[in-house]
């Protein structure tokens, strides 16, 4: 399966490069970066409604591929359950295949990618520009509290919280009526190692983005830092306020009302 992915990736990369070189309207790519439990999933759900850009959740793409019973699939399942990162080679291959699907022609919101410096090659090597890279900032203590109450609906990836975002019936998914579960990688000991992993392996992606945003032709146009302690509505509002005029349009932000002339 993985050999197939690598061949497919090579074939699929050509249209991306040609599109970048031919001067067609570039797709809008938005990247959400933040520690586990910082609200990337919840923010992407709202942002997709506002912007009409589809979301690519890396862990959901991985899960679809893992329905096969190969040794590699079993290994990836175990790594995901233990909160370990999957190899860059595998992730790059599946993401290139995913992004080449027609539903992402106008762009996409990436939830959970890139997560390592090596994964930023996806943008640099394919000459794809990230319009906005959003960083969700939150303390480790707040994350640990959030993860304890997090429940998910496995098949869809819908996320709930027992206190802050409860389902209509405790333990049951609102849409399908199926049971919710606590992810094995949301257990406190696993969360702590995922936080260390975020600091050591994923934070360099933010430095990369800041450097790119300072360059005239960098692969990232704008980096926006958000306080992830806010509600999702407040985060969306802060995002729109901080966006450049062009990005604000692409993110589907409400147009700023023209200032009314003060009464004399
Ligand atoms: P998430 O739901 O984003 O916390 O991801 C769950 C798990 O999927 C992670 O702990 C990793 O095992 C795997 N994963 C998701 N995205 C990536 C990525 N970009 N690179 C490597 N592993 C990933």
**Closest atom of ligand 1 to CA, residue 58:** 16
pLDDT digits (tens, 9 = 90+) for 173-231: 999 999 999 988 888 888 999 999 999 999 999 999 999 999 999 999 999 999 999 99
Residue 74, pLDDT above cutoff 80: yes
| C-alpha gyration radius of the chain | 19
Long-range contact list for 179-183, CB < 8 A, 24+ apart? 180/151, 180/152, 180/153, 181/151, 181/152, 181/153, 181/154, 182/150, 182/151, 182/152, 183/150, 183/152
Which of 8-22, 125-139, 182-196 has the least mean pLDDT?
Answer: 8-22
Ligand 1 centre and the CA of 85: distance in Å?
A: 6
The β-bridge relationship of strands 150-153 and 55-57 is unpaired
User: Which domains occur in the chain, in start order?
Assistant: 25-57+107-249 (3.40.50.300)
Residue 108, pLDDT above cutoff 90: yes
Q: What is the pTM of this model?
A: 0.84
Tokens (6 digits) for 217? 């032709």
Mean pLDDT of 148-177: 91
Q: What is the pLDDT of residue 183?
A: 85
Q: What is the pLDDT of residue 256?
A: 64
A 10 A CB-CB count for 134 gives 28
Give phi and psi for 149, each to the nearest 5. -100, 5
Contact residues of ligand 1, CB 6 A cut-off: 36, 58-59, 62, 79-80, 83-86, 91, 112-113, 115, 119, 185
Q: Rounded CA gap, 226 and 233, in Å?
A: 12
Contact 32, 209 (CB under 8 A): no
Which letter does DSSP use for residue 199 in this model? I
Q: What is the pLDDT of residue 259?
A: 52
Ligand 1 centre and the CA of 53: distance in Å?
A: 21
């Amino acid at each position: 399966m993985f050999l197939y992915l690598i061949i497919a990736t090579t074939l699929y990369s050509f249209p991306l490069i040609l599109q970048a070189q031919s001067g067609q309207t570039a797709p809008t790519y938005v990247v959400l970066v933040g520690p586990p439990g910082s609200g990337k999933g919840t923010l992407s759900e709202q942002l997709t409604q506002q912007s009409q850009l589809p979301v690519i959740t890396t862990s959901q793409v991985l899960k679809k591929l893992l329905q096969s019973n190969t040794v590699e699939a079993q290994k990836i399942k175990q790594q995901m359950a233990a909160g370990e990162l999957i190899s860059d080679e595998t992730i790059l291959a599946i993401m290139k295949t995913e992004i080449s699907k027609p539903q992402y022609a106008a762009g996409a919101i990436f939830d959970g990618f890139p997560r390592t410096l090596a994964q930023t090659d996806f943008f640099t090597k394919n000459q794809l520009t990230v319009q906005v890279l959003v960083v969700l900032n939150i303390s480790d203590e707040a994350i640990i509290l959030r993860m304890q109450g997090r429940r998910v609906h496995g098949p869809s990836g819908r996320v709930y919280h027992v206190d802050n975002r409860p389902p209509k019936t405790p333990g049951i998914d609102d849409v399908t009526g199926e049971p919710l579960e606590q992810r094995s990688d949301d257990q406190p000991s696993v969360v702590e190692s995922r936080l260390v992993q975020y600091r050591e392996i994923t934070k360099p992606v933010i430095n990369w983005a800041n450097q790119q945003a300072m360059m005239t032709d960098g692969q990232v146009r704008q980096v926006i830092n958000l306080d992830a302690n806010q509600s999702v509505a407040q985060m969306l509002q802060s995002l729109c306020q901080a966006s450049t005029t062009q990005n604000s349009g692409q993110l589907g932000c409400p147009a700023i009302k023209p200032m009314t002339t003060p009464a004399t």
